Amino acid sequence: MTVNNPTEPEIQISEEQLQKLGWILFGLAVFFTIIGAFVSPLDDQGKPVLLLPEVKAVEDYRKSAQSWISELNTLDGEIAHIIAADQQGDLFSQSRSAQQTLQHAVELAQQVDRTRVPPIGMGMHEQMLSTTLSYLEAARSALQWVSAPEQENQDQAIQLLEDARQMKSELEKNKWLISR
């Protein structure tokens, strides 16, 4: 760079320097494009997700909700196994299994309850929380049936599990949870 006249500041840049600057900018653009391709989160179709804070919060919550539904399916199987178990076996192992299932239900309910919810997801969160609590109640009822194996307790546990399944079915139909 040279200044021709001190009274008239004019900056001259040679063609060679412009080419170098162009190659540097091109290299930086390629470099950041490659980095972006590797670190940008992708949706289910492989398209990059725009990470505005609000969009990221909604996407993170949606993924959490999908994992909770998977946990509810696991919990459903555990509760059904306890209710269907023959009460003639080892009471200690049955009680232990029922307590572990109840603990699983408590942990899931706490996880759902303690999760930060984006404002747009409040309605879905209420539905998720009530479904999780219904499974917690079904697990508690299954433990009660193991503790007092009477037909009335088993019938109540079965009914609570059916109610929880119905709520989960409604939750799974929520369009908010469908992958985009």
Break the chain into its structural domains and give their ranges.
Answer: 2-39, 53-177
Task: Quickly list H helices, the chain.
Answer: 15-39, 53-84, 91-114, 122-147, 151-172
* Mean predicted confidence (pLDDT) in 70-88: 88
Select the CATH number that applies to the domain covering 53-177 from these four: 1.10.10, 1.25.40, 1.20.1420, 1.20.120.
1.20.1420
Contacting residues for 78 by C-beta, under 8 A, at least 6 apart: 97, 100, 101, 104, 139
User: pLDDT tens across 7-60, in order?
Assistant: 666 778 888 888 999 999 999 999 998 988 788 777 778 777 667 888 888 888
Average pLDDT, rounded, for the chain = 87
* Mean predicted confidence (pLDDT) in 130-152: 94
Q: What pLDDT is stored for residue 112 in this prediction?
A: 95
In this model, does residue 97 exceed pLDDT 70? Answer: yes
